[in-house]
C-alpha cells in the first residue's frame, strides 16, 4: 500500500483569498525587517485609559469544518456540525467590524494545537490547512502546542518553513515560543532541531513580541508550553522547555522575558500559554497556568490552552492580578475579552464573552472556498489511492454508545478502537489491543453516516520516528509481547486510573493521615483520564472503592483468538495459565508508538516501580528483548510483510478503517451498520459475561 504516500505528495497548493478578511486592527508589528511601521500611533501618558479586545482560539486540532458528522456540514437546517474555520472567520470579521466602529483595536491569538486531529492533517505535505487559515485571518500571533511537536522538531520546522517561505509572502503571522530551548552540542540526535534553530536565527520564530495598537497601547506577547503539555510531546526531543515552576531558574527564565517586554514599553503583557487550566469539583481552578500566574509576576492575561477547559469569565488566581481565559477546544467557541487599561496602573477591567459557533453561524465564503480547495486536493490523492473521498459515506452507525470517551472507564468507543487494533493481530493466536483515551479524538452519534473523514478523525494523532514513513500522519502500530506479570500490572494500572477520578475515594486517601495511603494519593494525582487504557482481549475484576481498586489476579481471563468483539461468555483461559506447556509464555499486544514511548517515560516508570507495577514490553523476535527507544521500530506492523518493499507502516487510523469495513463477522455489523449489540451500554454493563472491566465486592476476610 505504498500508494498512501500520494496523500501528501499530490495535494494542490492553497491560494490564499484575502478579500473581506482584513487584519486584526492593521496595527504594526514591531519587526522592522518584516512589517515597517507605516503609521504613527499616539503616545499614551500616565493616567490615560484605553481599551482593546483580545480574541482567542486554542486547541482547534485542524477541525477545518468543525465537530460532528462530516457529511452534514454546510447542509443548512440538517447541519449537525459546530465550529470550523468558516464559522470562526465569520465571527472574527463580525467582531472586528463592530470594534472598528467604536475605535477599539482587536488582538487575535491562538494558544497552540492547531495541527493534528482530522483528515486535514493530510495537507502537511504542503502548507498545512491550519496555517492557511491563520494566515488568511491575519492572526497577530500564535504559539506552539504539544501536538505541533507530534511529528518531531525536524518535520515541524519543515511545516513552518513551507508556510512562511523565505520571503514570508504566504504566512506572515509571528510564531512566538518564549520558553523553548533547542539543543546545543554534538551529541547524537542534537541535530534534529537544527531546522527550528534556523527559524529562530532568521527571526521567523520569536521568543517575545511587542506590538503597538492604533490607539498607542503597547502589547507584549509571550508563547509558553507548560510541563504537563511537554509530557504529552514525547517526540519533541532534543527540544526542551523552561517550564518547571518549582525550579527557580525556570521561573527566572520566564520572568526575564516579561521584564524584557516591560523594559521595551509594554503596557500589557499577554501569555499565549499552552500549559493547562482545569476545574476542580468544588468549582475552583487549578493547573499549570494557575501555577504560572502565581510564580511569575507582570503577566496581565494568560490565554490558556491544552486542557480544553473553557472559561465563562476570567479566572484570577488568589494573590495575583493575572486574568486567565480559555476558549475551550475544537474551534467550537471564540473567546472575547474586552480589556480596559489605565496607563501606569495596568488592567483595571476585563470582561469575557464567549461566542458559541453553532451551525446557525453563517459560513464565510472566503474560508469556505479555501476549504473546498483543500477538500479537492485531498480527494484527488485519495482517488489515486483507490480510497473513498473524504465525504463518501462508507459505513453507518446506529449505536448510541460510541461517543468520544472522556472518563476513565470502559466505553463503547474505547472497546471498538481497542478491538480494531487487536483485529490486526489475526485470528490464530490470543492477543491484546491497547489504546489510551488521550489518542481517541472523536466519536460518533446515532444515527450517523460514517465517512472516511469521520473514521480518520477518531485516531488521527502522531507521527513515526522513521523519516521514510513520515509522509503519512498517524502513530504507527507496533506488535510487542507482554508476560503475565506485565499484563496483570497493566490491569491494575487501569483500575488505579479509575480510582484517580473517584473524588470520594481520593478525599478519603487525603484525609486518612496514613503515610502509605497519602503516597498512593500522590501517585493517583498524576493519572488523568487521558491515560486510561482501553483493552481488548482480556477481562478482569477489581474491588472498587471498598477494596482500594485492587485487581483480583485470578479473575483475569484471556479471550479466544478470533473473538475480536470479546463477546464469548467463556474465554479461552485464565491469565494465570500462561506459561503452561500448551500455551505461549507471552501474548502479542498491538498498540501505538505513543503508548510504548509513554511506558518508557522515566516519570511513569518511577511511578509504576514505586507501586510494584512494572510493565515490560518485548520485541516479537525469536529471542525477545526488552523494547527500548533504540529497537522500538523493529516492532512495527508491516502492511504487506514483504521485506523487499521495506516497512510500510500501519497507522493507527488505518486499523479502525479496516475493522469498520471488514464485514459482519469481524466488525460487528448488520447491514453495514454498527449497532448496540456489541458496543452499546448493555454490552458493557451486563457484568462479567460481557463487560471487560468489572467491579465486584472485595473478599470477606476469613
Instruction: Assign 117 to helix, strand or coil.
Output: coil
The answer to whether 312 and 355 are in contact (CB under 8 A) is no
The answer to whether 220 and 301 are in contact (CB under 8 A) is no
The answer to whether 145 and 185 are in contact (CB under 8 A) is no
Residues of the chain with CATH 3.60.21.10: 50-363
b/e burial code for range 254-268 (CB count within 10 A of at least 16 → b)? bbebbebbeeeebbb
**pLDDT of 684:** 84
**pLDDT of 54:** 98
Q: Alpha helix (H) ranges present in 591-701?
A: 593-600, 602-610, 652-660, 664-667, 676-679, 681-685
Is omega for the bond preceding 196 within 30 degrees of 0, making it cis? no
**pLDDT of 180:** 97
State the Cα–Cα distance between residues 178 and 209, nearest whole angstrom.
9
User: Cβ atoms within 10 A of the Cβ of 529, count?
Assistant: 17
**Cα–Cα separations (whole angstroms), residue 101 to 29, 105, 505:** 22, 10, 55
Tell me what the pLDDT averaged over the chain comes to: 88
State the Cα–Cα distance between residues 382 and 453, nearest whole angstrom.
11
Q: Which of 48, 42, 82 is nearest to 65 (CA)?
A: 82
Per DSSP, the residues of 415-445 read: HHHHHHHHHTT-SSS--EEEEEGGG------
CA dihedral 18, 19, 25, 27 (to 10 degrees): 60
State the Cα–Cα distance between residues 691 and 534, nearest whole angstrom.
12
Q: Which of 660, 67, 68 is nearest to 395 (CA)?
A: 660
**pLDDT of 495:** 96
Per DSSP, the residues of 461-489 read: ----S-GGGTTS-SPBEEEEEEEHHHHHH
The answer to whether domain 50-363 has CATH 3.60.21.10 is yes
Residues of the chain with CATH 3.90.780: 392-465+487-580+651-695
**pLDDT of 307:** 94
**pLDDT of 702:** 65
Whether the pTM exceeds 0.75: the reply is: yes
State the Cα–Cα distance between residues 8 and 19, nearest whole angstrom.
28
Q: What percentage of the chain has pLDDT greater than the value 90? A: 67
Q: Which of 500, 618, 602 is nearest to 234 (CA)?
A: 602
Q: How confident is the model at residue 156 (pLDDT cuts 50, 70, 90)?
A: very high
Residues pairing with 480 in the sheet: 589
- Of residues 547 and 282, more confidence is placed in 547
Q: How confident is the model at residue 688 (pLDDT cuts 50, 70, 90)?
A: low
**pLDDT of 32:** 33
State the Cα–Cα distance between residues 554 and 540, nearest whole angstrom.
8
pLDDT in tens, 607-640: 788 778 889 999 999 899 999 888 999 999 998 8
pLDDT in tens, 50-81: 999 999 999 999 999 999 999 999 998 999 99
pLDDT in tens, 417-461: 999 999 999 888 899 999 999 999 999 999 999 999 999 999 999
Q: How confident is the model at residue 4 (pLDDT cuts 50, 70, 90)?
A: very low
pLDDT in tens, 570-612: 788 899 888 777 677 899 999 999 888 888 777 777 778 877 8
User: Cβ atoms within 10 A of the Cβ of 609, count?
Assistant: 11
pLDDT in tens, 165-178: 765 556 889 999 99
b/e burial code for range 327-360 (CB count within 10 A of at least 16 → b)? bbbbbbbbbbbebebebeeebeebebebbebebe
**pLDDT of 135:** 93
pLDDT in tens, 375-388: 999 998 888 878 88
Cα dihedral sign, 187-192-195-197: negative
pLDDT at 27 over 70: no
State the Cα–Cα distance between residues 279 and 599, nearest whole angstrom.
27
434: cell is: 491497547
Cα dihedral sign, 393-399-405-411: negative
Q: Using the 8-state DSSP alphabet, how is residue 360 labeled?
A: T
Q: What is the mean pLDDT of residues 109-128?
A: 91
Q: What is the mean pLDDT of residues 339-345?
A: 97
Residues pairing with 271 in the sheet: 222, 302
Q: Alpha helix (H) ranges present in 296-387?
A: 365-384
**Cα–Cα separations (whole angstroms), residue 510 to 434, 507, 513, 514, 521:** 31, 5, 7, 9, 6
Per 3-state DSSP, the chain is made up of helix, strand and coil in percentages (nearest 5) of: 35, 20, 45
Q: Which of 314, 296, 460, 439 is nearest to 390 (CA)?
A: 460
41: Cβ contacts below 8 Å, ≥ 6 apart? 27, 212, 213, 214, 215, 216
CB-neighbour burial class of residue 10 (10 A; exposed 0-12, middle 13-18, buried 19+) = middle
Residues pairing with 142 in the sheet: 110, 175
**pLDDT of 626:** 93
675: Cβ contacts below 8 Å, ≥ 6 apart? 398, 399, 668, 669
In the numeric block, the cell 513515526 is attached to: 464
Rg of the chain over Cα atoms, rounded to whole angstroms, equals 26
**pLDDT of 691:** 84
**pLDDT of 189:** 59
Lowest mean pLDDT among 180-189, 347-356, 362-371: 180-189
Q: What percentage of the chain has pLDDT greater than the value 70? A: 90
**pLDDT of 160:** 92
Q: What is the mean pLDDT of residues 660-673?
A: 62
**Cα–Cα separations (whole angstroms), residue 403 to 331, 437, 446:** 18, 12, 9
The answer to whether 134 and 272 are in contact (CB under 8 A) is no
**Cα–Cα separations (whole angstroms), residue 220 to 106, 176, 256, 264:** 14, 11, 13, 9
Q: Alpha helix (H) ranges present in 112-263?
A: 129-136, 153-164, 194-201, 227-231, 248-263
| Long-range CB pairs of 600-604, under 8 A, 24+ apart, other chains included | 600/627, 600/628, 600/629, 601/231, 601/234, 603/231, 603/526
171: Cβ contacts below 8 Å, ≥ 6 apart? 127, 131, 134, 135, 163, 164, 165
Lowest mean pLDDT among 29-33, 74-78, 472-476: 29-33
254: Cβ contacts below 8 Å, ≥ 6 apart? 178, 179, 222, 224, 242, 292, 295, 296
CA angle 491/494/499 to nearest 5° reads: 125
Helical packing angle, 129-136 and 85-102, nearest 10°: 20
CATH of 392-465+487-580+651-695, one of 3.90.780, 2.30.29, 1.10.10, 1.10.20: 3.90.780
Amino acid at each position: 500500500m505504498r500508494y498512501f504516500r500520494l496523500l501528501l505528495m499530490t495535494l494542490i497548493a492553497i491560494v490564499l483569498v484575502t478579500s473581506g478578511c482584513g487584519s486584526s486592527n492593521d496595527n504594526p508589528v514591531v519587526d522592522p525587517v518584516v512589517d515597517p511601521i507605516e503609521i504613527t500611533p499616539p503616545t499614551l501618558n500616565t493616567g490615560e485609559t484605553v481599551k482593546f479586545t483580545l480574541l482567542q482560539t486554542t486547541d482547534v486540532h485542524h477541525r477545518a469544518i468543525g465537530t460532528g458528522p462530516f457529511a452534514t456540514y454546510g447542509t443548512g437546517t440538517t447541519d449537525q456540525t459546530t465550529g470550523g474555520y468558516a464559522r470562526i472567520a465569520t465571527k472574527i470579521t463580525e467582531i472586528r467590524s463592530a470594534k472598528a466602529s467604536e475605535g477599539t483595536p482587536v488582538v487575535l491569538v491562538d494558544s497552540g494545537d492547531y495541527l493534528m486531529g482530522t483528515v486535514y492533517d493530510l495537507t502537511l505535505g504542503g502548507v498545512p490547512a491550519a496555517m492557511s487559515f491563520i494566515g488568511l485571518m491575519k492572526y497577530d500571533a500564535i504559539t506552539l502546542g504539544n501536538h505541533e511537536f507530534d511529528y518531531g522538531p525536524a518535520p515541524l520546522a519543515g511545516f513552518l518553513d513551507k508556510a512562511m517561505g523565505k520571503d514570508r509572502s504566504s504566512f506572515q503571522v509571528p510564531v512566538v515560543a518564549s520558553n523553548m530551548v533547542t539543543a546545543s552540542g554534538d551529541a547524537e540526535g542534537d541535530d534534529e532541531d537544527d531546522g527550528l534553530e534556523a527559524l529562530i536565527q532568521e527571526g521567523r520564530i520569536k521568543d517575545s513580541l511587542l506590538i503597538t495598537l492604533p490607539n498607542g497601547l503597547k502589547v507584549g506577547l509571550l508563547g509558553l508550553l507548560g510541563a504537563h503539555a511537554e509530557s504529552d510531546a514525547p517526540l519533541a526531543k532534543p527540544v526542551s522547555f523552561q517550564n518547571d515552576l518549582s525550579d527557580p531558574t525556570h521561573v527566572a527564565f520566564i520572568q526575564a522575558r516579561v521584564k524584557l517586554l516591560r523594559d521595551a514599553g509594554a503596557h500589557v503583557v499577554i501569555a499565549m500559554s499552552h500549559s493547562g487550566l482545569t476545574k476542580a469539583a468544588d468549582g475552583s481552578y487549578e493547573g499549570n497556568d494557575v501555577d504560572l500566574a502565581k510564580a511569575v509576576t507582570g503577566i496581565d492575561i494568560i490565554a490558556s490552552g491544552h486542557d480544553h477547559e473553557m472559561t465563562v469569565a476570567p479566572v484570577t488566581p488568589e494573590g495575583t492580578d493575572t486574568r486567565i481565559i480559555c476558549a475551550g477546544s475544537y474551534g467550537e467557541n471564540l473567546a472575547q475579552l474586552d480589556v480596559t487599561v489605565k496607563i501606569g496602573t495596568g488592567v483595571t477591567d476585563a470582561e469575557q464573552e464567549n461566542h458559541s459557533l453553532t451551525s446557525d453561524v453563517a459560513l464565510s465564503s472566503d474560508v469556505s472556498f479555501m476549504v473546498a480547495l483543500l477538500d479537492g486536493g485531498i480527494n484527488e490523492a485519495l482517488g489515486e489511492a483507490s480510497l473513498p473521498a473524504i465525504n463518501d459515506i462508507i459505513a453507518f452507525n446506529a449505536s448510541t454508545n460510541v461517543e468520544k470517551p472522556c472518563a476513565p472507564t470502559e466505553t463503547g468507543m474505547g472497546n471498538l478502537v481497542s478491538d480494531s487494533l487487536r483485529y490486526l493481530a489475526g485470528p490464530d493466536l490470543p492477543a491484546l489491543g491497547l489504546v489510551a483515551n488521550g489518542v481517541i479524538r472523536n466519536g460518533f452519534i446515532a444515527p450517523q453516516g460514517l465517512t472516511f473523514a469521520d473514521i480518520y478523525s477518531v485516531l488521527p494523532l502522531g507521527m513515526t520516528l522513521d523519516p521514510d514513513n513520515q509522509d503519512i500522519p498517524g502513530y504507527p502500530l507496533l506488535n510487542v509481547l507482554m508476560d503475565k506479570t506485565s499484563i496483570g500490572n497493566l490491569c491494575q494500572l487501569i483500575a488505579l486510573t479509575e480510582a484517580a477520578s473517584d473524588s470520594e475515594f481520593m478525599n478519603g486517601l487525603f484525609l486518612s493521615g496514613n503515610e502509605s495511603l497519602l503516597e498512593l494519593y500522590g501517585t493517583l494525582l498524576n493519572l488523568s483520564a487521558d491515560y486510561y487504557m482501553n483493552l481488548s482481549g482480556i477481562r478482569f475484576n477489581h474491588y472498587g472503592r471498598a477494596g482500594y481498586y485492587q485487581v483480583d489476579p485470578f479473575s483475569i481471563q484471556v479471550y479466544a483468538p478470533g473473538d475480536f468483539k470479546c463477546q464469548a461468555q467463556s474465554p479461552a483461559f485464565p491469565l494465570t495459565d500462561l506459561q503452561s506447556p500448551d500455551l505461549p509464555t507471552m501474548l502479542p499486544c498491538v498498540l501505538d508508538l505513543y503508548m510504548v514511548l509513554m511506558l518508557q517515560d522515566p516519570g511513569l516508570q518511577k511511578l509504576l516501580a514505586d507501586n510494584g507495577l512494572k510493565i515490560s514490553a518485548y520485541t516479537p523476535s525469536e529471542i525477545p528483548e526488552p523494547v527500548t527507544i533504540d529497537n522500538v521500530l523493529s516492532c512495527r506492523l508491516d502492511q504487506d510483510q514483504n521485506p523487499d518493499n521495506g516497512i510500510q507502516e500501519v497507522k493507527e487510523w488505518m486499523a479502525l478503517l479496516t475493522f469498520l469495513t471488514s464485514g459482519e463477522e469481524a466488525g460487528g455489523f448488520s447491514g453495514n451498520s454498527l449497532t448496540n449489540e456489541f458496543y452499546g451500554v448493555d454490552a458493557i454493563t451486563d457484568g462479567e459475561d460481557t463487560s471487560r472491566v468489572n467491579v465486584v465486592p472485595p473478599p470477606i476476610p476469613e
